[in-house]
């Protein structure tokens, strides 16, 4: 069902006809390698690409598109046991999901995992920062601790599992501590996330297996180990390290399926749980630290709890079931329960006379729920949109703007005009705090495959809508400036199309969060995306002077950081097109978002290309046999 449709119809094909189409672009540069390469990856902090062959790894400076260093594996004595005829076995490249190269997030470093040997390199020069020859046993996992300028390393030796701290400043293992039999950690090792470890002062809180280990980071001494029967899956250290809120997998079938969780509080001094009985719930909605107490809203309830005793501060939970979200406002707590919302004060008492129904279905998505100008709350869900007076709890519009929950919805906030832009069921809406009545659509836009649309981006002069093989641009007056369709090259292209969309969204992420996103593929054409702060806060950024980076190298990092604001102007799409030699050429199209102009087209020669795209510059680096083709 469609609602409030206007009679305006735009001649889309008239707009499409004026869009310029690019010709197939030849590589702007070709970097020759000594032998066929197997893998490449861009380090998003330095802008250097590391290329892996059977016998070496090399560095490509993307500012010059030249190979600037190369390291032979045979030069490293610790690798002798994994080399065959001076090179690494090609068996490790047989798995479509296995990647040998991975970035150490937020740093100029990169991991090279060769099975029996593990290397961490400085991408500026290829020099080893750490290698598995420095520890006894096999490296199972490695994570970076920026607070300590160190790597936290899990190793296995004689069926025993160890945690070690490798100091980057001293270039050596500071300590190594045994934490138990490897057999008891097998499941954890399978899906381990070493960067889940947290640092608070001189201590590290390190999750291994089902337990948390509190370890003195200076000595490696285990201060305590939490009860392994509790199966902790997540934890949060509160302000000042006073308490540790833990989430455990629930018992029984619900715990096994991940639909039941237990919340408790751990004493950071003793490692003992404060409460005899945990809070069991299906999902967590909100946690707020208040010093000696904390607010906890979850699927089954909502209250203020004492950290030490677990006692509730409010006599009864606010009314409602299926609590899903809580927003902290000056006026109190705005919460959703099922398909309704209510405002309460700091004592849990109602500030509105009754609940406001915000959707038809309790399972509907909530896209927008927040306070806006004029002391109003806006909500946009799968079925409704409206404004509410935050003082009275009454709707501003007499009737909701209605949506069809079976049709997808995209929402974005236009800060320049203070409007929420909604695309739903072939219509654009512009919602603002000044509206006193539900609005008519801004414009209409028919999409061929609306379920594949997954990105709505606010541009300076309009709104950019994109999906798998389809893209459109509407100006802020509601005029459709262009719309384009791309033929998908089968299952292969569909997988790769996500890469283009990932890059298309990079600019928005960078401006909002100072974030870089690097995109590449695995051997099956699936997307591999990494996103990280480029030169973030002191807690996350590398202290270059401590690590010994030269001024020139620090300048490169800063230059890439400063360039983030210029990286948002292009989208990438895969298409099946005809060229002079091939009926169904596989083409990557680079599109200028604001004009719809196809800036470039890059043709790939193989069915499962190995490539990476620099999210800053939009440059494509395509690995083919013994060369890297650069498309700028």
What's the confidence (pLDDT) of residue 574?
72
d(CA 32, CA 607): 21
Q: Which residues contact 203 (CB under 8 A, 6 or more apart)?
A: 214, 215, 216, 217, 223, 241
Domain annotation covers residue 57: yes
Question: 142-151, 358-367, 402-411, 432-441: which range is least confident on average?
Answer: 142-151
Domain annotation covers residue 456: yes
SS (H, E, C) 396-447: CCCCCEECCCCCCEEEEEECCCCEEEEEECCEEEEECCCCCCCCCCCEECCC
Average pLDDT over residues 42-59: 89
> pLDDT at residue 403 above 90?
yes
How is 442-476 classified by DSSP, letter by letter? SEE---TTGGGEEEEEE-SSEEEEEETTEEEEEET
Question: 220-229, 236-245, 384-393, 615-624: which range is least confident on average?
Answer: 615-624
How large is the greatest C-alpha to C-alpha distance in the chain, in angstroms?
79
In 3-100, alpha helices (H):
12-16
| Domain ranges, residue 123 | 12-226+310-319+355-359+405-631
Q: Is 210 in contact with 203 (CB distance < 8 Å)? A: no
Nearest to 67 by CA among 19, 31, 109, 97: 31
Give per-residue pLDDT as tens, 188-197.
444 444 447 8
pLDDT greater at residue 616 or residue 323: 323
Q: Is 516 in contact with 568 (CB distance < 8 Å)? A: no
pLDDT band at 510 (very low <50, low <70, confident <90, very high): very low
Residue 254: what are its φ and ψ, rounded to 5°?
-60, -40
> pLDDT at residue 540 above 60?
no
Question: At how many degrees (to 10) do helices 490-504 and 506-513 cross?
Answer: 30
Q: Is 493 in contact with 586 (CB distance < 8 Å)? A: yes
Highest mean pLDDT among 98-107, 200-209, 396-405, 593-602 belongs to: 396-405
d(CA 273, CA 263): 10
Give per-residue pLDDT as tens, 360-383.
988 888 999 999 999 999 999 999
User: Strand, coil or helix: what is 209?
Assistant: coil
pLDDT greater at residue 28 or residue 557: 28
> What is the share, in percent, of the chain residues with pLDDT greater than 70?
76
Average pLDDT over residues 500-521: 29
What's the confidence (pLDDT) of residue 582?
58
Nearest to 296 by CA among 251, 262, 270: 262
Domain annotation covers residue 486: yes
d(CA 551, CA 336): 52
pLDDT band at 395 (very low <50, low <70, confident <90, very high): very high
User: Strand, coil or helix: what is 89?
Assistant: coil
Domain annotation covers residue 461: yes
Q: Is 229 in contact with 246 (CB distance < 8 Å)? A: no
Average pLDDT over residues 90-107: 70
Domain annotation covers residue 369: no
Average pLDDT over residues 225-239: 86
289: its two tokens: 């630290």
Q: Which residues contact 116 (CB under 8 A, 6 or more apart)?
A: 81, 82, 138
- The CA distances from residue 213 to 155, 198, 220, in Å, are 16, 11, 11
Domain annotation covers residue 75: yes
Nearest to 43 by CA among 116, 121, 119: 121
Calculate the average pLDDT of the chain. Answer: 78
Sheet holding 279-281, edge to edge: 232-237, 244-249, 261-266, 279-281
d(CA 478, CA 423): 12
What's the confidence (pLDDT) of residue 195?
42
Q: Which residues contact 318 (CB under 8 A, 6 or more apart)?
A: 302, 335, 337, 342, 344, 348, 350
Q: Is 339 in contact with 360 (CB distance < 8 Å)? A: yes
What's the confidence (pLDDT) of residue 22?
57
> pLDDT at residue 515 above 60?
no
Domain count, the chain: 1
Give per-residue pLDDT as tens, 277-315.
999 998 888 898 888 999 999 998 999 999 999 999 999
What's the confidence (pLDDT) of residue 545?
40
Q: At 357, which helix (H) or strand (E)? A: strand 356-357
Domain annotation covers residue 446: yes
Predicted TM-score (pTM) of this structure:
0.74
Rg (CA), the chain: 27
Domain annotation covers residue 73: yes
């Amino acid at each position: 069902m469609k609602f409030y449709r206007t009679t305006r119809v735009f001649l889309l094909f008239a707009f499409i006809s004026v869009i310029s189409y690019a010709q197939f672009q030849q590589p702007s540069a070709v970097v020759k390698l000594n032998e066929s390469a197997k893998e490449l990856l861009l380090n998003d902090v330095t802008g250097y690409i590391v290329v892996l062959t059977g016998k070496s790894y090399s560095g490509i400076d993307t500012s010059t598109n030249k190979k600037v260093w190369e390291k032979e594996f045979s030069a490293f004595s610790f690798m002798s046991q994994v080399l065959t005829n001076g090179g690494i076995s090609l068996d490790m490249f047989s798995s479509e999901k296995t990647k040998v190269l991975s970035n150490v997030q937020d740093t100029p470093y990169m991991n090279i995992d060769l099975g029996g040997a593990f290397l961490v390199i400085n991408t500026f020069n290829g020099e080893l920062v750490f290698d598995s020859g420095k520890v006894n046993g096999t490296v199972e996992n490695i994570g970076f601790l920026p607070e300590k300028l160190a790597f936290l390393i899990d190793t296995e030796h004689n069926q025993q599992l160890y945690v070690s701290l490798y100091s980057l400043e001293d270039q050596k293992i500071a300590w190594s501590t045994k934490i138990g039999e490897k057999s008891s950690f097998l499941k954890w090792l399978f899906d381990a996330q070493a960067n889940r470890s947290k640092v608070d002062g001189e201590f590290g809180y390190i999750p291994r297996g089902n337990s948390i280990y509190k370890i003195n980071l200076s000595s490696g001494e285990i201060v305590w180990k939490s009860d392994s029967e509790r199966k902790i899956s997540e934890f949060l250290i509160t302000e000042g390290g006073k308490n540790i809120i833990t989430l455990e997998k629930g018992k029984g079938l619900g715990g096994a399926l991940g639909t039941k969780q237990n919340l408790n509080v751990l004493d950071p001094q003793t490692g003992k749980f404060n409460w005899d009985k945990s809070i069991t719930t299906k999902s967590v909605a909100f946690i707020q630290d208040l010093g000696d107490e904390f607010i906890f809203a979850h699927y089954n309830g909502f209250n203020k709890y004492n950290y030490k005793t677990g006692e509730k501060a409010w006599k009864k939970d606010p009314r409602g079931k299926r609590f899903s979200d809580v927003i902290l406002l000056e006026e109190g707590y705005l919460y959703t329960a099922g398909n309704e919302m209510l405002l309460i004060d700091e004592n849990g008492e109602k500030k509105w006379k009754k609940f406001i129904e915000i959707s038809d279905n309790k399972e509907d998505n909530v896209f927008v729920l927040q306070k806006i100008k004029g002391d109003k709350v806006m909500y946009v869900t799968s079925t409704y949109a409206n404004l509410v007076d935050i003082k009275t709890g009454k709707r501003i519009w007499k009737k909701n703007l209605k949506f069809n929950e079976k049709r997808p919805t995209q929402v974005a906030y236009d800060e320049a005009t203070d409007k929420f832009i909604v695309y739903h069921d072939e219509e654009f809406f512009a919602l603002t705090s000044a509206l006193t009545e539900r609005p008519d659509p801004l414009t209409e836009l028919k999409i061929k495959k609306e379920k594949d649309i997954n990105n709505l981006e606010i541009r300076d002069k309009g709104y950019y809508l994109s999906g798998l093989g389809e893209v459109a641009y509407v100006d802020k007056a509601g005029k459709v400036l262009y719309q384009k369709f791309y033929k998908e090259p089968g299952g292969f292209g569909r997988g790769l199309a996500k890469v283009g969309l990932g890059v298309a969204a990079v600019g928005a992420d960078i401006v909002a969060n100072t974030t870089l996103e690097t995109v590449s593929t695995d051997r099956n054409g699936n997307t591999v995306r990494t996103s990280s702060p480029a030169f973030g806060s002191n807690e996350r950024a590398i202290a270059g002077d401590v690590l010994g980076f030269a001024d020139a190298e620090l300048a490169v990092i800063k230059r890439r950081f400063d360039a983030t604001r210029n990286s948002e102007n292009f989208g990438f799409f895969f298409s099946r097109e005809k060229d002079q030699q091939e009926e169904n050429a596989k083409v990557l199209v680079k599109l200028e978002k604001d004009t719809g102009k196809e800036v470039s087209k890059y043709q790939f020669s193989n069915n499962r290309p190995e490539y990476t795209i620099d999210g800053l510059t939009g440059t494509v680096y395509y690995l083919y046999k013994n060369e890297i083709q650069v498309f700028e």
